[in-house]
Amino acid sequence: SYPLFHTARPLTSAAQETLDRTDIIFHIGDISYATGYGSKWDRFLKQIERLASRIPYMTGQGNHERNFPGSHDYYQSTDSGGECGKPHVARFVMPTPLPQSEVAGAAGMWYSFDQGPVHFVMMDTEMPLSVGTPQYAFLENDLLSVDRSVTPWIIFMGHRPMYWNSEIDVHFQELEPLLFQAQVDLCLWGHVHHTQISCPVYNGTCVNA
């Protein structure tokens, strides 16, 4: 069995208590920590079955799904154990604008959708996102075309945090002005294994909401 600190244990126990009041679940990267072992994917999926069979279970790509030298990711670490995103993409089909074959190849796992009054955007922090890249082009077109009379809220998500201890990840420097221009209401991040909540921030400085 998995130790108590495994992601699925607190997730399933907490969500089970509020199942009838939960509309959607976002798992923003580092999904199963399988790192090349298919049996770990199987065990994790069994653990979340009670939730994912009843509630939309939306995922994003993290370093432990994607990163490996030669897999076209930005960081080129060995954190995925050679998975290069393929097992994740095969198990969690998200509403990406690209075909699944491309998402599991050199492309990334970014997408957006509306639910109720909220426009949700999932970026892929592990892939290139500077101006001129396919991911930036998608995010720019998507964010700047949101009809705020239909979805007045924009929630933006990605695995690695843009800010950590008041310092910006240089990978995000070209993206931040776009989020500010689009007046994104809330950003949700993962990767760091404890909670940080910040003020509304732009260019490293707290700003009025």
**What is the set of active-site residues?**
171
Task: Give the separation between CA 194 and CA 183, rounded to whole angstroms.
Answer: 26
- DSSP states of 24-64 as a string? -EEEES--S--TT-HHHHHHHHHHHHHHHTTS-EEEE--HH
Quick one: tokens of 86? 């393929």
Answer for the pair 165, 3: CB distance below 8 angstroms, yes or no. Answer: no
Which residues, other chains included, contact 11 with Cβ-Cβ below 8 Å and sequence gap of 6+? 27, 48, 51
Answer whether 62's CB lies under 8 Å from 159's CB.
Answer: yes
Residue 66 sits at the vertex; the CA angle it makes with 3 and 87, to the nearest 5 degrees, is 70
